Amino acid sequence: MLSPFERAYAWHIPGPRLDMDAMAAAAARLEGRHDFAAFQTAGAETHTSERVVFSSRITSERPLITYDVKGDGFLRHMVRGIVGTLVEVGRGRYPAEWISEVLRSKDRARGGRTAPACGLILVAVEYEQQTS
């Protein structure tokens, strides 16, 4: 049970517990260089939807589940689309491998719902240092 102080900063997902192992397996499939068009806002205008995800991890400290992702850049609503898709895997509606199918489809309609913005926190932005 979330405290009243956490409720405004987390997405409450009612029902049975999510399958953390399946979600972790699905999250790991997103690591590497991929075209993430299936996870961006429909109709978004970008030069390219290819990005590199350095790490994609699910952890849990009950009752909270954390998704931590690091990459070279993110598309509009990309992380929210990924989280919504991971929740579908966690609910047992799809196997972990399904996330790879969604990724290859480049079709936003194939993935899970877009997770609400509450609970998403930008922890850091890091830039490589230029040496002259």
Whether residue 37 is contained in a domain is answered as: yes
Q: What are phi and psi of 66, to 5 degrees?
A: -120, 135
| 69 bridge partner residues | 56
Give the list of residues 6+ apart from residue 130 with CB closer than 8 angstroms, or none.
none
Whether residue 116 is contained in a domain is answered as: no
pLDDT reading at 118 higher than 70: yes
Tens digits of residue pLDDT in 15-58: 899 999 999 999 999 999 999 999 998 777 778 999 999 999 99
| Residue 117 DSSP one-character state | S
Confidence at residue 8, expressed as pLDDT on a 0 to 100 scale = 78
Query: Domain total for the chain?
Result: 1
Per-residue pLDDT, averaged over 78-85, amounts to 96
Tens digits of residue pLDDT in 17-27: 999 999 999 99
Whether residue 39 is contained in a domain is answered as: yes
CB 27 within 8 A of CB 56: yes
Longest dimension (CA), the chain: 55
Whether residue 74 is contained in a domain is answered as: yes
Question: Which residue pairs from 89-93 have beta carbons closer than 8 angstroms and sit at least 24 positions apart in sequence?
Answer: 89/19, 89/22, 89/23, 89/26, 90/18, 90/19, 90/20, 90/22, 90/23, 91/15, 91/16, 91/18, 91/19, 92/19, 92/22
Whether residue 128 is contained in a domain is answered as: no
Confidence at residue 58, expressed as pLDDT on a 0 to 100 scale = 96
Confidence at residue 1, expressed as pLDDT on a 0 to 100 scale = 66
Whether residue 88 is contained in a domain is answered as: yes
> Mean pLDDT over all residues of the chain?
90
End-to-end CA distance of the chain: 52
Query: What CATH number did the domain enclosing 39 receive?
Result: 3.30.70.660
pLDDT reading at 123 higher than 70: yes
Range of the domain at 102: 10-110
